[in-house]
Amino acid sequence: MSNNSLLLVDPNFKADASVNCHLLLKITNDSFSYAVINKELDEINVIFDKQRCEDVEQDLKFAFETDAHLAQSYGAIKAAIHTSNFIFIPDEWFDQENLSVYTKFMDSERKIYTKHHDELGFNTLFSLDEKVEEKLPENTVVYPQSSPLLALSGHLSGDALLVDFTATSFNVLFIKDKKITFQNHYEAENAEEFNYFLLLIIEQLGLTESVPVYLQGIINEDDEYYSTLLKYFNNLYFFFPAGKQNSELLADMPKHYFSGLLALDLCE
């Protein structure tokens, strides 16, 4: 295990119990993580996280070749995967039988996937990097990286900004009047770059200092990203995993680190 990766395993976890488990994979542009959730007991059995990946595709390939936890047979496998090729289409404008009409809005010739968000009233159309996709088991259900954030939107009330961090990027979701009005992904190598994008978001969305900001992923109170947020917002909250999974495995970890990963199990 490299110095930028983490592996936590429940000592009571048995490989032959994997058929009762879900495997959740979160694959961003610069990180790779997974969780094994026992659905019968609502327990987190395994957590793996690797940040600052120089080549996510190769890290993913190596993991599936060498990690025994990824070689098991799971009841379901879900993967949220970073892609810059996605669009949102409201239900009233969506034609499932004629997806080709939307390709002119996407910078890709690859296969188009669709995810319908029943409660939100729109669809996500997206394509994936084939080199990443081919590394996954055949029965993997794929989602765009935004899906876990969208799944968590129902756990927020009123206006809210939800930000999911990796070590060098962040994903943003803004809810206004209980409706999703903005979602995007940014790469930021340092606090100065983060400050630039944050000011852009504040200006574009007309955010005020009183807007609640919910934080998850790789961020702590003592880092520069948190200090940057404090310059513009008065209400910062760490967003813990939604759901009822037993999180004893995470007892000594900041639980908001894995909120986005675990939220993937909420995706249908």
Task: Work out the mean pLDDT of the chain and round it to a whole number.
Answer: 89
d(CA 77, CA 138): 9
Backbone angles phi, psi at 160, to 5 degrees: -160, 145
Q: How confident is the model at residue 2 (pLDDT cuts 50, 70, 90)?
A: very low
pLDDT, residue 99, reads: 79
Laid out side by side, the sheet with 122-126 consists of: 86-90, 122-126, 113-117
Helix (H), strand (E), coil (C) string for 98-111 = HHHHHHHHCCCCCC
266 near 151, Cβ under 8 Å? Answer: yes
* DSSP codes of every residue in 8-63: EE-TT--GGGGGGEEEEEEE-SS-EEEEEEETTTTEEEEEEEE-S-S-HHHHHHHH
Question: Two tokens at 54?
Answer: 């120089």
What contacts 127, CB < 8 A, 6 or more positions away?
A: 83, 85, 86, 106, 108, 110, 111, 112, 113
Residues 6+ apart with CB under 8 A from 100: none
Least confident of 9-18, 183-192, 218-227: 9-18
How are beta strands 213-217 and 160-165 bridged, if at all? Answer: parallel
**Structure confidence at residue 242 as a pLDDT band (50, 70, 90):** low
Q: What is the DSSP string of 126-192?
A: E---HHHHTTS-TTEEEEETTHHHHHHGGG--SSEEEEEE-SSEEEEEEEETTEEEEEEEEE-SSHH
Residues 95-138: pLDDT tens digits? 888 877 877 777 666 788 888 887 888 888 888 888 888 889 98
**Under 8 Å between Cβ of 78 and 21:** no
pLDDT for 172: 96
List, for residues 11-53, the tens digit of each pLDDT value: 888 888 899 999 999 999 999 999 999 988 888 999 999 999 9
How far apart are alpha carbons 23 and 19 in whole angstroms? 10
The stretch 240-259 carries a mean pLDDT of: 77
Main-chain phi, psi angles of 46, to 5 degrees: -145, 140
